[in-house]
């Protein structure tokens, strides 16, 4: 019996041998509170108050048992926050926790009492959508759309405006599975599709996603073998001095010629390498090969190698670069390392220290895909880069006045910071003319050369060779 003041009393009755009854009243307030705390710790997330992973799986088990008896359909949504890690790194864990609480509140505001919302990981949430009068597919899809929209609304955390997104994968029961592992796997495959489709969206599981996953698994196994046998080739794309047509540097690019499928697009196998934990070994192979090849190139030509954020986290990158230089005999100034904004987003403070140690070796550091990230300008002040590579999206729109205005600002900034500038994705002589008029001295793209094997490299751009022949 619970009293209005919060006390809980347990009353038990016992029959006496001589007749009559004995009633025993025991105050169990503290014991009940302790049991409630243990129950809460075992089944609820302490930060958000949502169900935890254990209770989430118990609720799915119970829903599946009801489904087998009564055949009511239900759905499972897996949610993954987009850009949460960058917020956590930039503002700190306290702000990150505050953000997670607000996300949890928004999820709760969108679901019904019969549904279950859970936090199943750091920035991973899940919802069990209980049966309803509306067709389950429509009800679950409607909820997923509302959640994407609600979570994308701006937040204010300790005075900071914050914007994140949410990717969702949706699986229906029994259509997409009748076991816990099967349902969660299929929802996760749908979530993977949402992430690959640009994030801040939702997808419903289909058999096509399973086929794609199977193909990725096979590709990962074959890629692992190709790396082990050192079958990954390195092609090179030159960076051209626009005024003279001379090759100033070459960018090393991994290429995979599959024995059956032929050349596999880099975007496809690089993604598989990153997801399968192969990118560090692959990156080390490309680095070592590029340094060796560069020793046969003209002494005034640099070789540029791309570094993944995972290479910063997975190995002692400084030792790897030092070893590649020593083994090949390539002078340090002839090696250029290209990074993207993701290196800073992954672990900005520790990765900044690694970049400083790399620069201390005497190699050059370039910021790739400049202008497409959220904080590219701020990174130029955080680290003394040697070069910025302007993203192809700007070159594609170079005929627009607003693009020209931005490029002029980048050129002025580069001059002030004494940075070299390269325009990526140059595809026409008209783009070359416009770039030169803006004072951008270097270009890279199909207009000059596609990526080619070492033997296919020419040390003078085709346009310059044509000029010489005409003269």
pLDDT digits (tens, 9 = 90+) for 220-242: 999 999 999 999 999 999 999 99
pLDDT at 465 over 90: no
Instruction: Tell me the C-alpha distance between 62 and 72, whole Å.
Output: 12
pLDDT of residue 464 exceeding 50, the answer is no
What is the rounded average pLDDT of the residues 119-132?
Answer: 91
Q: What is the pLDDT of residues 279-335, one digit of tens each?
A: 999 999 999 999 999 999 999 999 999 998 888 876 689 999 999 999 999 999 999
Contacts for 372 with CB less than 8 Å, ≥ 6 apart:
341, 391, 393
The encoded tokens of residue 92 equal 């700190």
Q: Which of 12-16, 95-99, 357-361, 398-402 has the lowest mean pLDDT?
A: 12-16
Return the CA Rg of the chain: 29
- Phi, psi angles (nearest 5°) of residue 15: -75, 135
pLDDT at position 400, please?
Answer: 92
Question: Could you tell me the CA-to-CA distances from 449 to 188, 206, 232, 303, 377 in Å, in that order?
Answer: 41, 41, 21, 16, 29
**CA 425 to chain centroid:** 24
What is the edge-to-edge ordering of all strands in the sheet holding 124-129? 116-119, 124-129, 74-82, 165-173, 202-204
Residue 55: phi and psi, rounded to 5, are: -65, -35
> Of 69-78, 106-115, 231-240, 287-296, where does mean pLDDT reach its minimum?
69-78
Among 90-104, 106-120, 253-267, 365-379, whose mean pLDDT is lowest?
365-379
């Amino acid at each position: 019996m619970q009293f209005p003041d919060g006390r809980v009393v347990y009353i038990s009755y016992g029959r006496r041998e001589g007749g009559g009854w004995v009633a025993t009243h025991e105050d169990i307030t503290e014991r009940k509170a302790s049991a409630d705390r243990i129950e809460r710790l075992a089944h609820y997330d302490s930060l958000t108050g949502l169900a935890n992973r254990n209770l989430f799986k118990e609720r799915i088990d119970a829903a599946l048992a009801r489904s087998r008896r009564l055949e009511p359909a239900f759905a499972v949504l897996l949610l993954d926050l987009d850009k949460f890690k960058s917020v956590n790194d930039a503002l700190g864990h306290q702000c990150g926790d505050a953000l997670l609480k607000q996300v949890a509140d928004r999820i709760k505001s969108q679901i019904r009492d019969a549904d279950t919302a859970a936090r199943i990981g750091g920035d991973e949430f899940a919802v069990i959508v209980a049966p309803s009068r509306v067709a389950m597919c429509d009800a679950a899809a409607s909820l997923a759309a509302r959640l994407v929209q609600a979570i994308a609304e701006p937040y204010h955390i300790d005075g900071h405006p914050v914007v994140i997104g949410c990717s969702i994968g949706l699986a229906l029961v029994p259509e997409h599975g009748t076991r816990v592992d099967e349902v969660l796997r299929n929802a996760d495959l749908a979530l993977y599709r949402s992430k690959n489709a640009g994030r801040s969206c939702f997808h419903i599981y289909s058999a096509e996603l399973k086929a794609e996953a199977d193909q990725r698994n096979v590709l990962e196994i074959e890629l692992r073998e190709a790396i082990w046998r050192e079958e990954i080739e390195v092609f090179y794309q030159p960076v051209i001095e626009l005024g003279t047509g001379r090759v100033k540097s070459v960018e090393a690019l991994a290429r995979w010629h599959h024995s059956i499928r032929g050349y596999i697009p880099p975007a496809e196998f690089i993604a598989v390498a990153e997801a399968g934990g192969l990118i560090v070994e692959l990156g080390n192979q490309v680095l070592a090969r590029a340094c060796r090849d560069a020793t046969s190139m003209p002494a005034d030509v640099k070789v540029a190698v791309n570094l993944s954020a995972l290479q910063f986290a997975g190995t002692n990158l400084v030792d790897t670069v030092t070893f590649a230089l020593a083994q090949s005999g390539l002078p340090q100034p002839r090696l250029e390392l290209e990074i993207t904004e993701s290196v800073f987003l992954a672990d900005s403070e520790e990765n900044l220290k690694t970049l400083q140690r790399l620069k201390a070796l005497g190699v050059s550091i370039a910021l790739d895909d400049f202008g497409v990230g959220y904080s590219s300008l701020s990174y130029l002040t955080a680290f003394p880069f040697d070069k910025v590579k302007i993203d192809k999206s700007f070159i594609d729109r170079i005929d627009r006045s607003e693009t020209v205005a931005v490029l002029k600002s980048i050129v002025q900034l580069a001059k002030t910071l004494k940075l070299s500038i390269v325009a990526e994705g140059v595809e026409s002589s008209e783009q070359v003319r416009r770039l030169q008029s803006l004072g951008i001295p270097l270009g890279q793209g199909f207009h000059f050369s596609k990526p080619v094997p070492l033997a296919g490299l020419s040390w003078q751009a085709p346009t310059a060779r044509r000029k010489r022949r005409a003269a």
